[in-house]
Structure 1
Amino acid sequence: MGPTVTARFEWPVRVYYEDTDLGGVVYYANYLKFLERARSEWLRHLGVSQVQLLESQRLLFAITAVEIRYHRPARFEDALVVTVELETLRRASMVFRQAIHRGGPDGELLCSARVTAACLDADSMRPRPLPAHLFPE
């Protein structure tokens, strides 16, 4: 049996110098990059190729809303874990709960977010239903 859509997915990331500001603290917008990469890795883990969706079905995903809270700063060389949990699966969108922890998935909470992604027709940029075969659960 393959990976489950509703299971919490964890993706490790290391903070590099380029992620930080002058004080060695992760620049606030870079947390969004970490969250994005984890969602992309979650899809890949489920066997979903975004390139294949675009080329064969003319589908893509676009972020329509982000609620983010910064709890503690991440710093240069920190080992982080970014988590992804599917909160809601709608006809043409998904809502994710995500978090970034220092040291592991149960480590110090640095950032929490709720992210909404819409499924769009690549040509018209209008909402389109998610293909049922992507998330059969």
Structure 2
Amino acid sequence: MSSIAPFAWPVRVYWEDTDAGGVVYHASYLRFMERARSEWLRARGVDQSALREATGLAFMVRSMQLDFLRPALLDDELAVTVAVKEWRSASILFSQAIGRADGAELVRAQVRVACVDLNRKRPAPIPADLIPGLAP
């Protein structure tokens, strides 16, 4: 769908990200992916706080599908990628992956985020000019 190259955000694994064995706890991967999506928006000029203040809109995770392929470990240097797979009027489907610096793919994910009117708590159209070149 997107002509924009996949975006990558670096992450280092710290103690707080791991279980007692030094292996990344599964929920930590969700935080890594959330940060990467937020940085993807920021890199495209979208200030989520300003969007919320000006329009009452925010993005919320609607669904996720994750495949855990290999574990990440304490002190690993990771890259979290973000690519747009599908853009609908009120949601975006992202393809995300987490890999180590040595090229090993650790996690694959499909994440659908919905644009939500926070006052009504209902889906809302994504502003067409939010990210030029990506609207449906």
Query: Is the structural similarity TM-score above 0.5?
Result: yes
- Partner in structure 2 of residue 109 of structure 1: 105
Match of 2:72 in 1: 74
The 5 Å alignment of 1:118-133 reads 118-133=114-129
1:59 to 57, 60, 74: 57
**What is the rounded CA distance, in whole Å, between the counterparts of 2:88 and 2:3 in structure 1?**
13
Task: Report sequence identity in percent.
Answer: 51
Q: What TM-score comes out, normalization by structure 2 length?
A: 0.94
TM-score (norm 1): 0.93
CA RMSD of aligned residues (A): 1.2
What residue in structure 2 maps to residue 134 of structure 1? 130
What SS does the aligned partner of 1:74 have? coil
Quick check: 1:5–1:46 contact (8 Å CA) kept in 2?
no
What's the CA shift for 1:5?
6.8
1:95 positional shift: 0.1
Amino acid at match of 2:107: C
1:72 shift after superposition: 0.3
Residue 85 (1) aligns with residue 52 (2):
no
Alignment counterpart, residue 15 of structure 1, candidates 13, 16, 29: 13
The Cα shift of 1:7 comes to 2.0
Point out where structure 2 has 5 or more consecutive residues left out of the alignment.
none
Q: Is the 1:5–1:135 Cα contact (8 Å) retained in structure 2?
A: no
Deviation at 1:135, TM superposition (A): 2.3
Q: Which residue of 22, 25, 28 corresponds with 1:30?
A: 28
Query: Which whole-Å CA distance do the structure 1 matches of 2:66 and 2:84 have between them?
Result: 16
Aligned equivalents of 1:62, 1:101: Cα separation in 2? 24
> SS of the residue aligned with 1:112?
strand
Separation in 1, partners of 2:3, 2:74: 32
Measured against aligned partners, the alpha-carbon deviations of 1:90-123 in whole angstroms (never above 9, x if no partner) come to: 000000000000006xx10000000000001010
Which blocks of at least 5 consecutive residues in structure 1 are unaligned?
none
Inter-partner Cα distance in structure 1 for 2:5 and 2:54: 27
SS of the aligned residue for 2:4 comes to coil
- Whether the aligned pair in 2 keeps the contact of 1:62 and 1:119 (CA below 8 Å) is yes
Q: How many residues align?
A: 132
1: CA distance, partners of 2:128 / 2:59: 15
SS in 1 for 2:9: strand
